[in-house]
Every structure is written in C-alpha cells, then in structure tokens.
Structure 1
Amino acid sequence: MRKQIKFQCMIDCSSLCCGGATILTLKELNRLYRFFPVTIGFRKIFPLNSDHKAYIEEIAIKFRNFYIIGDFVAGNRLKKRCQMLKNFLCSINSFKPLQCSVIPFSVTFPEELQNLVIAKKRQGAFKSCKGFHDDAKLVWDVEFTDKELRENFYKLRQNFIFQRSIMEKIFFKFENNPFLKKLMQSEEGLFEVPIISDFIDEICGFASIDKKEFIKVQKSLFIRELTVGGVKNSLFIDALNALESVKI
C-alpha cells in the first residue's frame, strides 16, 4: 500500500542534505557557474519495473544491462557543508539548483514511485531527517500534491532530457577509464570527471556562457577549493589541467 508522504524542511538540520556538492543541469549553468566549481558525474540506475524503465530511457544513457545518469556536479565533495549555506539557509534561495528544490525526492524515478525513493532514503542518508513528521505538509499522495514541488520536479526532468545527448558523448569518452570500470562492477556509486576541453565550446554554447569568462571563473574556484583539511582534491587538479588546455 502506498503511504502519503508528509515533509517540511527544518532549517536547523540543513547540513544533512546540503553537503559539499549538489547537482546542476546544463540549463542552470549560466546563472550558477560563478558560485561553484563544476565537474561531471555519472551514476548507475537499475530500473525497478517496466514503467520505471520507460521513464528513465528519456533521460539516461543505456550501457550494457543498466542505465547511466549524467550530472553536472557543483561544489566540493571533500566539504561537509555547501558553501552557499548562511546560518543554515541557502544564500542563493531565489535561484538555487532545481536538485535542491526537489529534495528529498528523486527525478530518476517517476512521480508515482516516489514512495519507494523515500522509503530507501529514510533507511540511509535521511534516517535522521527531522522533516518527516505527522504535522508536516502533505506533499505526495500517489502524485505530488505540492504545486511548486511538482513544477520543479518536471522542470528538472526536462533539463535532464535536454542534456542527455552531450552527456552520452562525454560518457563514452571515458568508456575505458579504470575508475569507470570499477563503478560498473559495483552496485552503486559515482564516477566523477572534469569537463574535458573537447566539450567546453559545446557546453558554453548550449548554456549561453562566454567561454573565456567561464574558464576564468572556474579556474579561480578550483584553485580556491583545491585543498580541504590539508587534502588536495585530485579531481580538481585534473579539472584545472583540462581548463589550461583550452584554446581561447
């Protein structure tokens, strides 16, 4: 039986879901690349049933016997908290990433299966989340009952559809990478790579970003975020090298 989902974000526990990195889409880069260092992540998705399979085929990359979702990863995974949090609140709330606007739900599952998403998250990452309680707002009952949440969910889905083709091209550039092969052998995980020089022009073109400005800003952010707690982020070193190789 499908249970109703009541949820209302509590500002004093934002560190639970507002970690060091979040997800952006190609259409969001234009207004957000100045705030976050941006890389690309690929994650595995296994369809739960035929309806789920039909749903993700529009947004995912088919690879062997499963599917891959490509994201733009914004921020630094070495950090525990998003740098945009100020006193537990998002300082860019008026145009924060769509991914942040649909938490705790997942656009990689159809609307009618979100109860399964929440059940799994409440056993893991959201086990301590204070937002689920009887007095919270009803947000899902077989479908989203919150209008803004529903609009953001489908806008995010459309953004994934829009960027699917370029993500597929980038993914197959790394097909023989040993770290990708490791992900293929695991149940879940994330394979994260820099935006390689081959795709800078195309990404900036689709996102309506000035390439020179994008490279300048991203270099500055990667340098600023390079070391956390005395540990250098090797991915960010690769990202800097990729940007340095781009001809302007």
Structure 2
Amino acid sequence: MIQCSSACCGGATIITLKELDRFYKIFPITLGFRKLHPFNDFHKAYIEDFAIKYKSFYIIGDFIAGNRLRKRCRMLKEALCSLHNKNKPLQCSVVPFSVTFPENLQDIVIVERKKGAFRTCKGFDDNAPSVWNGEFTDPILKENFYELRQNLVFQRNIVERLFFKCENSPFFRKFITEEQGFFEIPIISDFIDEVCNIAQVDKFEFVKMQRSLFVKELTVGGVKNSLFIEALNVLDGVKN
C-alpha cells in the first residue's frame, strides 16, 4: 500500500465492464453518465470511439463503483489504498489524468484538476517524478491509460443502449438540459443477464453480492441513498 488518494478520493470510483468480475463483490455498482465538451476537432475524433452521441452532445457512460455520498472510498484504510497491490481499478491507476482526453492534451486535464480536490495531490509537487511531457513517460501509466480507453470502446454498445432506455425519465430530461450535470441509474433489470454474461460472472452470485453491498451502503450520515433504494428494487425483481 502507498499514500494513495489521501486528498482527492471520494466515495466512488469508475470501473469498466471488463473489470466487473474483480469488483462486484467489493463495491455496489451503478451507471453514471456525464457530458463531455470536445476541446477541438482532434479531441472530438478521439472520443467518438467510446462516447455516446445524443443530439449535439457527447456523453460518457461509466460503471460507478462505490457510494458517491461517502467522503472516502470504502477501500481506503487511513488514506492507504488496500487494493493497491491487488490490481486496483484502471481508473485509479491513471488519475489525475483522464482517458476522456487524448494523451497529448492531458495538460488541459491537469489545469482543471489543480482547481479541485486534486490541488493538494503530491504528484503536483515540484520534486515529484515526471510521468508526462506531452506524452506519458511512465510505461505502466501509458499501458493502463490505453487499456482503460479500449475498455470504454468495448462497452460502448451496451452502455449506449442503457442510456437510451432511460430517455423518458424526468431525470434524463433534466440532465440533457443542463450544461454539465450527472445522471446516475441502477443497472436496469433487462440488462443484468447481458452484463453478467459479458463480464463472465454468475448472475445469481452477482445479484446476491450486489444486494448485500447496497444494503450495507444504504445509509450514510443518517441519510438513505434513494438511488440505492431503487437499485435494491431492481435486484429484488430479477427473475431466476
């Protein structure tokens, strides 16, 4: 374990469908959608392989692992990542960089990161080792970055179908009218079979473990997570 995400890590991270088999017993899993505004034509061409195109918008769909109501990830122990030496999520291996921007535009990402929770990241210290200079200079970081991107390309079809399945939801319509915004849903019951087949996990084991995790994470600071209540209702309705 290393001093990982002591300042920037929230209650949830992002995983991909290809990683679901490793993490469905650890995190409650939902789906999240966010808008992405391309910086230029090169950026637009880069995201078209994995982004959802809706009207004039580009939407990124992610599997959200954890509880966004929590201040810290449930795998952090005294600011140390207990998954660090156990093949942690690819997303956690590339932050503060973002796979939604091409390698040569990561300086734009870093400018934005420094304004938020990442501003105290030790990676920004003057004496920190350099891992990017117009391109990634750390081979492991580079490998993780492109594997994560390829995973987003791989899951685009099912994520896109899940997104359009919610088109009549008032939360969907609210999300579309906002400049930025975030739209989060449970994995819809109609898709659980397909998700489990692709991820190569047993559906009944998946439902059992996810139900247990949603119950365990349901209440934070005395407040019940309405999304998790909805997720439990979905899981209770899954047929044998």
TM-score normalized with structure 1 length: 0.93
Deviant stretches of 4+, over 3 Å: none
What 5-or-longer segments of structure 2 have no aligned partner?
none
**Residue 239 in structure 1 maps to residue 231 in structure 2:** yes
- Please name the residue that 2:129 is paired with: 137
Q: CA RMSD in A?
A: 1.2
Residue 30 of structure 1 aligns to a residue in which SS?
helix
Match of 1:147 among 122, 132, 139: 139
- Please name the residue that 1:24 is paired with: 15
Relative distance call for 1:88 and 1:193 in structure 2 (3 A) is same
Q: Which letter does structure 1 place at the counterpart of 2:187? A: I
- Please name the residue that 1:206 is paired with: 198
- Please name the residue that 2:100 is paired with: 108
Residue 34 of structure 1 aligns to a residue in which SS?
coil
User: How many aligned residue pairs are there?
Assistant: 238
- Please name the residue that 1:88 is paired with: 79
TM-fit CA distance, 1:33? 0.5
Match of 1:52 among 40, 43, 46: 43
Distance in 2 separating the partners of 1:181 and 1:126: 31
Distance in 2 separating the partners of 1:131 and 1:207: 33
- Please name the residue that 1:7 is paired with: none
What 5-or-longer segments of structure 1 have no aligned partner?
1-9
- Please name the residue that 2:154 is paired with: 162
- Contact in 2 for aligned 1:41/1:191 (Cα 8 Å): yes
- Please name the residue that 2:166 is paired with: 174
TM-score normalized with structure 2 length: 0.96
- Contact in 2 for aligned 1:33/1:214 (Cα 8 Å): yes
Deviations 1:5-29 (A, max 9, x none): xxxxx82x72422210000100000
Match of 2:185 among 189, 193, 205: 193
**Residue 61 in structure 1 maps to residue 34 in structure 2:** no
TM-fit CA distance, 1:219? 0.3
Q: Percent identity?
A: 65
Distance in 2 separating the partners of 1:61 and 1:195: 17
Residue 55 of structure 1 aligns to a residue in which SS?
helix
Q: Which letter does structure 2 place at the counterpart of 1:177? A: S
Relative distance call for 1:225 and 1:70 in structure 2 (3 A) is same
TM-fit CA distance, 1:88? 1.6
TM-fit CA distance, 1:126? 1.8
- Please name the residue that 1:223 is paired with: 215
